[in-house]
Amino acid sequence: MDNYGILSLAPAVVAVILAFITKEALFSILCGVLVGLLVSQQNLLFGFSGIIQSALGNADFIWVITIEIFIGIMVAFFQKSGAIQAVTDKLNERMHITARLAQIMSACLGVFIFFSDYFSPLFVGNVMRPITDKAQVSREKLAWICDCTSAPICITFPFTSWGIYVAGLVVGFGTFATADMGQNAVIRSIPFQLYGILTIIMVFLIVLGFLPDYGAMKKAEERARTTGQVYAEGAHPMLSNELDGIKPNEGFKANIVLHFLLPAVIVICTSLGTYVVMGSAKILEAFVLAVVYQAVLLLIQRVFNIREMMETVMLGIKSVTGAMLILAAAYCINSISKTLGTADFVISITESWITPGSLLALTFAMCAFISFFTGTSWGVYAIMIPIAMPLAFQMTGGEATSLVYAEIAAVMGGGCFGDHCSPLSDTTILSSLGSGSDHVDHVKTQLPYTLTVAALVVIGYLILGNLL
């Protein structure tokens, strides 16, 4: 049996529904994992331990978790030096930071940090959170901005690991015989990246005030403006209060260049430099270098001694523990979804509907559905590219036409949709973490926006499919 039929959707459906009902993301996702074990008829005890070992004992998970740990340490060192507060004070001294300006600054910074969907939401969220808090911008709004300027940027400007990954996947299909041809195909798909383009446009239309907030986001923003509460009553911000206990030494004044800008420059330059030289952005190594620089600098300046430094390190790690647990649970439910053949089931019930005119729209919708209920974009690309490319080339008579390039864009955009807004997605979780937002509130407030964009994308692809 290739898949478990409609039951293969059960883990993700249960997790999503419970998340909205209970507002407890970790509990909900773990319940989804248990449902998956029941559907697959595995022993709950041994099956759960097996899922943990298989899902978490891989290099990808360890890499992401290690980045989160060093992010936590970096922010803790920022807190100990008083760097973020110094930046906030300087900006408020030089200009009056309104809610609108704070949102514009957040969006622009997110676009600037285009090279990594992991680094961007964490960096932008941590830098802008004190500023948006003071300007009475809701944490939900900041999380949405962080999320919109991470994965959607990566597919719109595919000179990143995303573009390289997809370029590798399309090699061997149709006329794409070499890696250079694959990369060129991804580049030529840029004009058809409707999801990424429209998401970016929507962000700036809203932060600039050309479009009003609506849905749950409107309520969140009204709460922040009228009461000063940047997150809802009873919310569980994905940033624990351990950092609140880290105070700069009395009388010590942070230097913005040494304590804030240089660590950020180290991360950005190392990531971009390794990408240019090695073809892969070494994000983890960049954070390690930045944290080492911070530690040495603060030790030399006697901001802390070795014992106090380790106390600060542990508080930084504790501050991201909640996010790490949710991410671990998300990896587990993604693993059980693969076991149940969730993606295969969705493909099996949709591929018979596909016609030349509907190819792009159905490809996008299928990828969006799979990615939302599995929380992965790259997994969707690996599954769908081998299906989508032959279909596209069949309809073009084997020629690499605009329809083929648009099909690549439809796959990338659909996969990005889930990565962008699924409560099971690592970048969605990281956006909640960076902004200090309640995870469920982040998902709930941004869904009306992402669904609006997705609907426009489907319409756009229906038009394109009949024109190309």
Indicate the pTM of the whole model.
0.78
Residue 6 lies in a domain: no
422: containing domain? 61-468
- The domain total for the chain is 1
- 353 Cβ neighbours under 8 A, 6+ residues apart: 362
pLDDT score at 1: 46
- Write out pLDDT tens, residues 104-137: 999 998 888 776 677 788 788 888 888 899 899 9
The DSSP line for 152-210 is: HHHHHS--SHHHHHHHHHHTTSTT--SHHHHHHHHHHTGGG-HHHHHHHHHHHHHHTTS
> Residues 161, 166, 169, 174: is their CA dihedral positive or negative?
negative
pLDDT score at 272: 79
Q: Which parts of the chain have pLDDT scores under 50?
A: 1
Long-range contacts of 246-250 (CB under 8 A, 24+ apart): 246/76, 246/79, 246/80, 246/312, 246/315, 247/79, 247/80, 248/79, 248/80, 248/81, 248/82, 248/85, 248/303, 249/303, 249/304
CB atoms closer than 10 angstroms to residue 248: 17
Query: How long, in residues, is the chain?
Result: 468
* Angle, vertex CA 24, rays to CA 20 and CA 26, nearest 5: 120
Reduced to 3 states, what is the DSSP secondary structure of residue 59?
Answer: helix
Q: Report whether 423 contacts 439 (CB < 8 A).
A: yes
pLDDT score at 12: 79
Amino acid at 6: I
Residue 27 lies in a domain: no
Q: Which residue has the tokens 């009553």?
A: 233
- Write out pLDDT tens, residues 412-426: 999 999 888 888 888
The DSSP line for 307-333 is: HHHHHHHHHHHHHTHHHHHHHHHHHHH
3-class SS shares of the chain: helix, strand, coil, % to 5: 75, 0, 20
Residue 440 lies in a domain: yes
Residue 48 lies in a domain: no
Q: What is the rounded CA–CA span in Å between residue 137 and residue 243?
A: 21
Residue 33 lies in a domain: no
Q: Which residue has the tokens 């622009």?
A: 108
Tokens, residue 52: 């943990």
pLDDT score at 350: 67
- Looking at the DSSP bridge assignments, the partners of residue 237 are 438
Q: Report whether 113 contacts 158 (CB < 8 A).
A: no
* Angle, vertex CA 368, rays to CA 363 and CA 370, nearest 5: 100
Residue 180 lies in a domain: yes
pLDDT score at 277: 84
Residue 135 lies in a domain: yes
Tokens, residue 349: 């019930």
Q: What value does the CA radius of gyration of the chain take, rounded to a whole number of Å?
A: 22
Dihedral over alpha carbons 160, 166, 168, 171 (to 10 degrees): -140
Residue 449 lies in a domain: yes
